[in-house]
Every structure is written in structure tokens, then in C-alpha cells.
Amino acid sequence: MIWKRETTLEALNAMSAENMVEHLGIVFTRLGDDELEATMPVDKRTVQPFGLLHGGASVVLAETLGSVAGYLCTEGEQHVVGLEVNANHLRSARSGVVRGVCRAVHVGRRHQVWQIEISDDQGRLCCTSRLTTAVV
């Protein structure tokens, strides 16, 4: 297990209240030994004017997963801040729910790198993203 902080899905979802995470309907759904998952609806909050999942919404899901995973790998008063995020949008989604799966590429004392894959509700990869964080 890579997590240094103890938590539950209920606690993660409670932490998401009254901020962008809740506004976009992002819900943490699984906390594995070395990965974190969340879903986000494809609806009026997350689509662009042409009805496709907005690339920015995918990036919010990715950065949310990576930042929370990064925080779970810290101790005490440490926190993480995003340094760089990129995303390759591979397939569009028009409805349903997308699922993000976050896995560590590198968890160091000062920096972390997270890989996040976002798939549609048929399991097809829609976006692959990488987040680099700094531990402060």
C-alpha cells in the first residue's frame, strides 16, 4: 500500500463538499492499495457547447484524483500542489459517466508524478493525463 494517511471513501467525498469537485459531480468510488478511482457525470455541468465532454472537465477530474492521491502519500502538515498537468483527449463522450483511475508513476519526498486514465461507461479510454505535484 502506498498511502501514508488513513481515510475512507466517505471522508474523501465529504472533503469534496462545497467546492468544484462537488459542483462537477465527482465522486470517489474506490480506494485500492495503490490506486484511486472517481467518477464524473457527462451532463450539463461537464459538457462543452457541442454536447461533448469538455476537455477542461476531464482535466479537473484528473487533477482532483492526482492531488488527492498525492495528499494521501504525505504525512503530518505536508500538502501537495500541482506543478504541471497535461491531457491527451482520445475519444469523446456525450452522455453517461466517465471513470478516472489514478496510479503513481513516482512518489518522492519532494515531487510526485501521477498517471490518470479516464474511460467512458463502456470502458473505452477517453483521456490520459499526467499530473506532477510538489510536496510542501
Which are the catalytic amino acids?
A: 63
Q: What is the 3-state secondary structure (H, E, C) of the chain?
A: CCCCCCCCHHHHHHHCCCCHHHHCCCEEEEECCCEEEEEEECCCCCECCCCCECHHHHHHHHHHHHHHHHHHCCCCCCCEEEEEEEEEECCCCCCCEEEEEEEEEEECCCEEEEEEEEECCCCCEEEEEEEEEEEC
